[in-house]
Structure 1
Amino acid sequence: MPVNQLAEASIVASARIHLGLISMHAGGPRMNGGIGFAIVNPIANVNAKLNYRFTIRDSRPIPLLEHELDELIRDVEVVRLENGLRPATITIFGPIRSHVGMGSGTAIRLAILEALFALNGQSPADKALVANSKRGGTSGVGVTSYFSGGMILDLGRPTDGSLPTPSSQSNRLVSAATILPTLRMPDWPLCVCIPERIRAKTQREEVEFFERVLPLAIQDSYRTCYEAVFGIYAAVKDHDYQAFCRAVTSIQTTTWKALEWNEYGGALQRLKGQVERFGVDCVGMSSLGPSLFCFATPQTLARLVEAQLSLNCEIYKTRPNNSGRVLRLLP
């Protein structure tokens, strides 16, 4: 489509569940790595329209803090100017929240950049968009599932002597060669539970957490790798729901994941117990939380949604996403 015929681009990007980082010890051949999958909601909507001035507005119910939005604007403006892209008014909306472990930061950055390039008649390769986003340096799950959806198993990157940091603080990118074949997730229903009374971690607190607990012992990484590959990934490949739920439950007790749970004291564990009493098949925490996810029958999930007020949670009934983001170009 010629550039002068395109005035608006819209992208719908979904959340992702991050089941855990894997290689978090020192001295191994590879570091980081992780496993996770995309879900159909909650979503982030990004709309971009050509304008004489470049702006980004966060119109979500709970928007980014002012300094976070300023940082996002600065980073995107650098990319825009380096690539000679015409300015646009960009609006973020949709229910997805920031800093609750759902991958919103990565999804929104990629969507803004892709929409901006699209408005200028350009379609960069996925790898180029990821590089410009400055995301994916710790885990390749979010930057891969944005485009493809599905179950992602990331093998990390060669060790360089540094300790891992959160993806928001790392500019080292995970190459496509480190991602095992993406699997289509079976259509297993699940819920996402976002606690209303448990404060999410800030970026600074997330960095401090990494600095405080790393490196782990080598055997801790070995166990997580076993649960990720022989448990979760294999169960999805085999469409074995029971094995998948057992593996999700088991990976919560690995050292790295247990340390993440411990960051919330007993509050998140108590919420987990409340959710389990509804009869769900497994419960886990996405990334550093505090969002929980659980798999269960549709009837059980419906009862859970009905109880969200008493649980002090915002609860989304959802399913895996196997297609990635949706891009619409409008003349």
Structure 2
Amino acid sequence: MAIQPPIEPGTAVRVSAPARLSFTLISLDATSMRRNGIAAMAVDRPGLTAEVRPAADGVTEVTGTAEETTREVARAVETLRKLWDGPPARVTVTRPLPQHSGFGSKTNTLLAVGHAYGRLCGQDTDLRELARTLGRGRTSGASTGLAELGGFLVDGGHRNPPEFTEAPHTYLRPSRFAQDVAPPRPVVRLDFPDWPILVLLTQGRHLGGQEELDWFQRVTPIPPQESWRTSHLVFMGLAPAVLEQDYEAFCAAVNEITFTGHFKQAQIAFQGEAVTSVLEAGRAAPAVDAIALSVTGPACFAFTRRTDEATVWAEDLRRRGLISDFWFTKANNNGISTTCLS
């Protein structure tokens, strides 16, 4: 890592990071040359904001986030302290990301805080190296790439070893249970157009930990032709539509993935009626041009050019108890940002 001049003693670093929305994982069969791969984008809201400063009492402390994330962040700071010979830190998360909801909360939080802590230690952190140090990005490079670059990206996953075909479940795993590999680099990275994005918090389930591993291994590997079809929808549907700012083609590709993608159907089935009802309502609504489930949810997101009508539609979903909240946001084409505070 390159070394930055140390900041003044006692200085705090404020860090902001976007949330990740995922369209789909790509290659989850047992015969392809590569596994995983993902199409995803960064959005401003929900976003993360935190402040990191040297701890006055010499003890690392993390506040403002859920207990599980608090433990992970404290552990990450201690790991980086040993690596960089840095001070104990006080981490205050002033705007946390919702956990296990489809926003990439854990990886985004760890990378944002780790990057800010690096500033305290005079480190110009490479985010891929930071992610690997903290054990993140072993399945998808989306959160890492979007933290660095923002926008829309597709990563190409990881190359499969010769023994993959005989033991795919050894490799097809959620990030925390996956092989120790570096996050994959983006093969496509584009600024996302200024299209309104409607985020919908459904009443669906939160998936993580051992339950996520068990579920993932039940639904993979998928048929090879389904991986190939998803790859076509991503590389010949989503990506060129974003590049050309072709809204209609983009929405058509999003809906095709949502309502016909093999792995996406497994993710929707896990959620059941709580999410299915929202997706079907979106498909039927004239004001909604496309709708998607971010990873396994429970957050959904939609695209519309008629924001007033879409607001009325979402308000009706909330009145009926199908969603707990909604808001409009825009793409974040920048990634993580930091500011030094006196």
Answer whether TM exceeds 0.5 for this pair.
yes
Task: Give 1:234 shift.
Answer: 1.2
For the 8 Å contact 2:102–2:298, the answer to whether it is kept is yes
* Matched residues, number: 323
Q: In the alignment, residue 8 of structure 1 is paired with which amino acid? A: A
1:256 Cα deviation after fit: 0.6
Matches within 5 A, 1:25-36: 25-36=29-40
Q: Contact 2:49–2:93 (CA<8 Å) still a contact in 1?
A: yes
User: What is the letter of the counterpart of residue 290 of structure 1?
Assistant: P
Partner of 1:268: 275
Residues 132 and 284 (structure 1 numbering): CA distance in 2 closer, same or farther, change over 3 Å? Answer: same
CA distance in 2, matches of 1:98, 1:116: 22
1:20 CA displacement: 0.7
Does the 8 A contact of 1:6 with 1:330 survive in 2?
Answer: no
For residues 166-222 of structure 1, the C-alpha deviation after alignment (integer angstroms, 9 at most, x for no partner) is 12333322343xx21411111110111112x32211322211111111111111101
Q: Is this contact kept in 1: 2:101–2:298, CA < 8 A? A: yes
**What pairs up with 1:201-240 in 2 under 5 angstroms?**
201-240=207-246
Q: What is residue 47 of structure 2 aligned with on the other side? A: 43
SS, match of residue 140 in structure 2: coil
2:171 match: secondary structure: coil
Separation in 2, partners of 1:137, 1:90? 25
Asked if the contact 2:77/2:117 (under 8 Å) is kept, the reply is: no
Confirm or deny: 8 A CA contact 2:137 2:184 kept in the other structure.
no
Q: CA shift at 1:127, angstroms?
A: 2.5
SS of 1:107 mapped into structure 2: helix
Q: Does 1:89 align with 2:113?
A: no
Which stretch of the first structure deviates more once superposed, 183-192 or 298-307?
298-307
TM-score computed with the length of structure 1 as normaliser: 0.92
Letter in 2 for 1:122: Q
Equivalent residue number for residue 129 of structure 2: 128
- 1:174 counterpart residue number: 183
Residue pairs, 1:1-331, within 5 angstroms? 1-5=5-9, 7-51=11-55, 52-57=58-63, 59=64, 63-64=65-66, 66-94=67-95, 96-160=97-161, 161=164, 162-170=170-178, 171-176=180-185, 179-195=186-202, 197-252=203-258, 253-278=260-285, 279-297=287-305, 298-307=307-316, 309-310=318-319, 311-331=322-342
Q: Is the 8 A contact 2:144 2:183 kept in 1?
A: no
| TM-score of the pair, normalised by structure 2 | 0.89
Q: 1: distance between equivalents of 2:317 and 2:176? A: 30
Distance 1:328 1:301, change over 3 A: farther
Task: Measure, in 2, the Cα distance between the counterparts of 1:216 and 1:96.
Answer: 31
Superposed displacement of residue 318, structure 1: 0.4
For structure 1, the 5+ residue unaligned runs are: none
* Cα distance, 1:83–1:5 mapped onto 2, change above 3 Å: closer
Q: Secondary structure at the match of 2:190?
A: coil
One-letter amino acid matched to 2:182: L
In structure 1, C-alpha distance between the alignment counterparts of 2:175 and 2:325, rounded to whole Å: 26
Distance 1:204 1:16, change over 3 A: same
State the alpha-carbon separation in 1 of the partners of residues 28 and 72 from structure 2: 28
Q: Percent identity?
A: 28
CA separation of 1:211/1:144 partners in 2, compared to 1, >3 Å: closer, same or farther?
A: same
Counterpart Cα distance in 2 of 1:283 and 1:199: 18
- For residues 71 and 329 of structure 1, what CA distance do their matches in structure 2 show? 24
Secondary structure of 1:229 counterpart: helix
Shift of the 305–216 alpha-carbon distance from structure 1 to 2, 3 Å rule, reads: closer
Secondary structure in 1 matching 2:24: strand
Question: What secondary structure is seen at the aligned counterpart in 2 of 1:259?
Answer: helix
> What RMSD in Å do the two structures reach over aligned CA positions?
1.8
Q: In the aligned structure 2, how far is the partner of 1:119 from the partner of 1:330?
A: 11
Q: Give SS of 2:271's match.
A: coil
What's the offset of the Cα at 1:304? 4.0
Q: Is the 8 A contact 1:42 1:316 kept in 2?
A: no
Other structure's SS at 1:187 match: coil
